Amino acid sequence: MRLLILGGTEFVGRHLAQSADAAGHDVTLFNRGSKPDVLPHLPRISGDRDGGLAGLAGKEFDAVADVNGYLPRLVRDAAELLAPRVGRYLFVSTISVYAETTAPFATEDAPVGELDDPATEASDGGSYGPLKAACEKVVADVFAGDRATIVRPGLVVGRFDPTDRFTYWVRRVWRGGEFLAPGRPGTVLQWVDVRDLARFVVRLLENGTAGVFNAVRPPDSVTMGALVAAAEQAAGERAVAGAQGRTSGESGRAPDTGRQSVATPVWVDEDFLATRDVRPWADLPAWLPAADNLLLRLSSRRAEAAGLGTSALLDTVADVLDWDLERGMPPLKAGLSAEREAELLAAWSRAA
């Protein structure tokens, strides 16, 4: 398969390119060339989605995977240019397109959001989802007749994640000691391992599968408590491996930052957090209060039937931990600061 990836050097696109390349496909990347050291063996076409598509003119591919389309205007520009010489357009969207989820296990047929101003290109918390929904419509219109595939991932987690939302929990458990855990251990979560997402996209393209798919792990299959437990297990195993490596003089291991103690979650009431302006998904990433987390309980049946697999929780967590150690555990872009967490835990202790 001759596959064009719009992007291909960032998080999702990078994994997709690796997966497609490993499967033996002819992969070409289209991007601005800002990361030449990422997947340098793959051919590139230099350009820009906003007015810089000339390099794609006249090129033929079996399929295109669009992993960085956010504005309908720019998605239309690329889709209309490629439509005469590309068989299938796969658009990586988001579960944020859904207007509202009123019951668990919502399917891909749930209504999506619409823009108050169809001309807006300001992507913020209120317009991000509707903009992506509008991009989906563009793809379906231009690549009509079962030539369009829409993949709606949930929270994407894994190695090279630039948001640090999932990484926050893995690192916080690695640091050890008492830490703030929101709500109750049984609060359900939902995400997709980026490696599973990449393999799924490749399979859809290989099979020429049309349609819309929620790319998420099965609903209610993991909880906050399970994530914490898996992170503790991975941290303990990694600390032991690091100590053994130092003793035996082995090389090639990820840097060991020196874990001092096991982690102990302190489960803090959701109402307590709300009254102190602790923001779900931002201050406490990957988590939503139990009463508001229907978006983390979407149906994955259609995607599973089309070939979406689910990595084991421990495998996902361990891979993220190893990557975080390898990169030297830089400052995170998400989650509570150590000072804010300590302040909240002290206040919770006094309240209790």
- pLDDT-derived band of residue 98, with 50, 70 and 90 as boundaries? very high
Asked whether the beta carbons of 196 and 311 are under 8 A apart, the reply is: yes
DSSP state of 58: T
Note the pLDDT tens digit of each residue in 243-268: 665 544 454 444 455 677 899 999 99
pLDDT recorded at residue 245 = 59
Question: For 64-81, what is each residue's pLDDT tens digit?
Answer: 999 999 999 999 999 999
Helices vs strands, H then E, count in the chain: 10, 13
Span of 125-129, 130-134, 217-221, 305-309 with lowest mean pLDDT: 125-129
| pLDDT, position 251 | 47
Give the pLDDT confidence of 206-216 residue by residue, as tens digits.
Answer: 999 999 999 99
Average pLDDT estimate for 137-147: 97
Mean pLDDT of 294-298: 96
> CB neighbours (10 Å) of residue 12?
25
pTM metric for this prediction: 0.94
Look at residue 258 in the predicted model and tell me its pLDDT.
63
pLDDT at residue 128 in the model: 94
Using the predicted structure, report yes or no on whether residue 337 has a pLDDT greater than 50.
yes
Q: How much is the average pLDDT of 175-179?
A: 96
More confident residue, 146 or 100: 146
- CA-wise closest residue to 16 among 206, 146, 147, 222: 206
The pLDDT of residue 243 is: 60
Average pLDDT over residues 277-300: 94
Question: By the 8 A CB rule, do 191 and 47 touch?
Answer: no
Answer left, alpha or beta for residue 36, where phi above 0 means left and psi between -120 and 50 means alpha. Answer: alpha
Distances (CA, A) of 91 to 137, 171, 201, 211: 10, 32, 10, 11
For residue range 218-240, what is the model confidence (pLDDT) as tens digits? Answer: 999 999 999 999 999 999 999 88
Domains annotated on the chain, with CATH: 2-153 (3.40.50.720), 165-189+221-293+312-351 (no CATH)
Relative orientation angle of helices 313-326 and 224-248, to the nearest 10 degrees: 50
- The β-bridge partners of 44 are 29
Is the pLDDT at 167 greater than 90? The verdict is yes
So what's the pLDDT on residue 244?
60
Report the mean per-residue pLDDT for the chain.
Answer: 94
Structure confidence at residue 125 (pLDDT): 75
